[in-house]
Each structure stands twice: as structure tokens, then as C-alpha cells.
Amino acid sequence: MSVTIRSLGFSPSGESFDFKEDLAEATNVLHEAFHKQYFKSDLGGDASLVGPFIRTHLTAGIIGGEVHVAEFPEVGIVGVTLWFGPG
């Protein structure tokens, strides 16, 4: 089984991705990785806001930063990283 790393975003080479599907899958991976507690205290303890909050971070990363996913062909996305450059 071989892992693939790819970027989610708008590439100059014209590579495309299924935005809705990849965003939903990446959101779910992070949601599960953080046991659905990611920034929950900053969201007033409202667990129903955690998923949308993660999705917002990922969307912002796609627009103004970098989002990369690790995936197995048989499984789908299994890891996500995102970051923003300085400035």
C-alpha cells in the first residue's frame, strides 16, 4: 500500500481536485484526529461548531495558505496538514 501526498488548492499547472469531496473528507479526518474537541473551548463549548470551524480553517488554507493531504488509494485521505506563510 503506497501513500500519496497531494496539495489541495489552485495550482498554476491546472491540476484540479473535487473541492467539496476533498474538503469534507479532510474536515472529517481532522475532526476525528482531534476527537471532535478542536477549539471547542473557543467555540463556547458548542461541539456542533467544531466541524464547521475546521472546514473554515481548511478553506482559508486553500485560499491563502497551503493544505496537503496524505491518502491511500483504497482508503482515501488519512492525514491533513495546513499552514500559512508569515506576513
The size of the chain, in residues, is: 87
The pLDDT score that the predictor gives to residue 40 is 87
The torsion angles phi and psi of 24, rounded to 5 degrees, stand at -65, -45
Please give the average per-residue pLDDT across 34-52, as a whole number: 89
Which three-class secondary structure state does DSSP give residue 30? helix
Q: Are 79 and 10 in contact (CB under 8 A)?
A: no
Strand order of the β-sheet with 66-72 is: 4-8, 66-72, 76-83
Residue where the block lists cell 473551548: 41
Please give the average per-residue pLDDT across 60-73, as a whole number: 93
The pLDDT score that the predictor gives to residue 41 is 87
- Residue extents of the structural domains in the chain: 4-10+21-83
Name the pTM for this structure. 0.83
Question: Which residues, 6 or more positions from 6, have their beta carbon under 8 angstroms from its beta carbon?
Answer: 17, 68, 69, 71
The torsion angles phi and psi of 49, rounded to 5 degrees, stand at -90, -10
State pLDDT tens for residues 9-27. Answer: 766 666 666 788 999 999 9
